[in-house]
Amino acid sequence: MELSHRLKSIPPYVFAEIDKKRQAAIARGVDVINLGIGDPDQPTPRHIVEAMHDAVENPVNHHYPPFGGSKEYKQAIVKWCNKRFGIELNADTEVTSLIGSKEGLHHTIMAFIDKGDINIIPDPAYPVYRTSTILAGGEPYFMPLTPENKFIPDLDAIPEAVLKKAKLLMLNYPGNPTAGIADLAFFEKAVAFCKKHNILLVHDLAYSEMTYDGYKAPSILEVKGAKEIAVELHSLSKTYNMTGWRIGFAVGNAEAVAAIAKIKSNVDTDIFKPIQLAAIAAFEGPTDHIDFCNNLYIERRDLAVERLKALGWPVQPIKATFYMWLPTPKGMSSADFSALMLDKAGIVVPPGTAYGPNGEGFFRMSLCLDKARMAEAFDRMAQHSITYDMLQAKV
């Protein structure tokens, strides 16, 4: 059989490949410590699970759900966004359901990118931005994110020739994998920039509630006039520990929301109604677990900072997400370091190049593991002399 050219044009999904290597190491008898994929280790809050149980028991919920999300789900989204960000939304025209924001990102790109179009994306970034652009026949243009620019792209550096062909500009704050954060002043500039060049601004806000040390992540829709040019994608995965449930939503520009919903209605049959009802319970129920989980991530972050500094790494505490974006030892590639960590210490970390060309020289470390297991990972690194200056030490 012959695969399609579009499938041949994209690499294997990075986390699927990392999991293959992890499974192979386990099969060899290695006690693997996984600091790779970002999946909360705490359970979904009990009141959400109970809402799901109750909904499943009711046969009225066993049928096809409404396209674009139930009326109740969309109204709950509107109320949550208003309470959290102070923004006003029309539930009928400015909200649509998503089977997780990953699916939403793909459908957004498919709705707007044609062959020859450009999608302006951050680099490094969540791999779906790039691969879905290629699948749509478009071309990704990479905006470099570096520690020097505090992981904020220089919009003014984008060439005019790129802007003429660009249909989308994608942002992600708080950011994966860099944990970079942005303020409303940058969002105001981005909105004005996209209006000027008639480019749809897509903001991926999957980590809105995972913030620390007094920082609170804004919505791009807080910018006056943003709905004229912007759409924002949200996920319940990280905020409510619901990664496996696959539910999220898109809000903002009515034309963009309708386009995403049109793609979805031709590709999927929306979200199982009991999951939508569980999500409503998440929006309307207690939020103690958010503070509880954030405090766990702060404790793990502080442990990681302390232990990494002891191993020579230049590292500062992150203010959002549960990722740490770290430089590889001087002179070592991202792929080589990732392989070394698994082969010598039994530790899984994704290479920075999995997130784009500017990821070279970095790796990502997740905080989705309890402190004892994380401490064991750093003990193994010390035991195997995996330090930031390890190559220089051998000279």
Ordered DSSP codes for 70-82: -HHHHHHHHHHHH
- Contact between 382 and 311 (Cβ < 8 Å): yes
pLDDT band at 7 (very low <50, low <70, confident <90, very high): confident
Q: For the chain, what's the residue count?
A: 395
Q: Is the pLDDT of residue 76 over 50?
A: yes
Is pTM beyond 0.85 here?
yes
Cα separation of 46 and 53, whole Å?
11
pLDDT digits (tens, 9 = 90+) for 263-292: 999 999 999 999 999 999 999 999 999 999
Q: Tell me how far apart the alpha carbons of residues 308 and 328 are, in angstroms, rounded to a whole number.
A: 12
Per-residue pLDDT at 393: 58
- Sorted by sequence, the CB contacts under 8 Å of residue 165 that are 6+ apart come out as 116, 117, 118, 139
Model confidence at 5: pLDDT above 90 = no
Q: Is 95 helix (H, G, I), strand (E, B) or coil?
A: strand
CA 167 – CA 112 distance, rounded (Å): 7
pLDDT for residue 394 is more than 70: no
Q: Check residue 115 and report its DSSP letter.
A: T
Domain 5-43+288-394 belongs to what architecture?
Alpha-Beta Complex (3.90)
Percent of the chain with pLDDT over 90: 90
Task: Give Cα 118 distance to the centre of its chain.
Answer: 21
Q: Which pair of tokens denotes residue 14?
A: 């990075």
Task: Find out whether 66 and 265 touch, Cβ atoms under 8 Å.
Answer: no
Q: Is residue 19 very low, low, confident or very high in pLDDT (cuts 50, 70, 90)?
A: confident
CATH number, domain 46-284, options 3.40.640.10, 3.30.420.80, 3.40.50.300, 3.40.50.1970: 3.40.640.10
Domain borders along the chain are 5-43+288-394, 46-284
- Count CA atoms closer than 13 A to 345's CA, side-chain side: 25
Please say whether the beta carbons of 76 and 283 come within 8 A.
Answer: yes
| 3-class DSSP state of 56 | helix
CA dihedral 148, 154, 158, 160 (to 10 degrees): -140
Whole-number pLDDT of residue 10: 82
